[in-house]
Amino acid sequence: MTNLYKEDERIIYHLHEINKGIMPKFERCTGVSQSRLELLHVLFEVEEISQTALQKRINIDHAAVTRHLKQLEERGTVVRRKNPDDNRVTFVRLTEEGRSRMEGYCSEKKRFIQQVLQNVPEADRTYLADLLARIQQNVENIE
């Protein structure tokens, strides 16, 4: 086995370990999962959106979106309503409470990112972001 192959395995190992560790810590620090925060961020940017359009924007399955929205609605973060012209369509929007919570989530996310990237110089961050984007593209191209 060549040293390059060992290095390649090490890269994949580190990516795997980062992936395994970052999401639970993100959720613990921010109080919300990354996928839920993405959903809330889309709602924060719009006045109202159909549940189907929201699902397409954040690219998660219908059942997961429904589950997130049900829990968020129970907490008073979002409101859902049926389209009066077509009962098959459900519209979603953030409540004022939801908008307020988003501000807190965003500041906690910023703090989390700062902790993750502390001691990493800006030039290295730019290079790392480019490398990770290329790796992500390679993964997406695997059949």
Q: Identify the band that residue 31 occupies on the pLDDT scale cut at 50, 70 and 90.
A: confident
pLDDT digits (tens, 9 = 90+) for 79-91: 999 999 999 999 9
* Per-residue pLDDT at 1 exceeds 60: no
pLDDT at 29: 87
* Three-state DSSP string of the chain: CCHHHHHHHHHHHHHHHHHHHHHHHHHHHHCCCHHHHHHHHHHHHCCCEEHHHHHHHHCCCHHHHHHHHHHHHHCCCEEEEEECCEEEEEEEEECHHHHHHHHHHHHHHHHHHHHHCCCCCHHHHHHHHHHHHHHHHHHHHCC
Global pTM?
A: 0.76
Domains and CATH numbers, the chain: 3-141 (1.10.10.10)
Instruction: Provide the mean pLDDT of the chain.
Output: 92
Q: Band the pLDDT of 4: cuts 50, 70, 90.
A: low
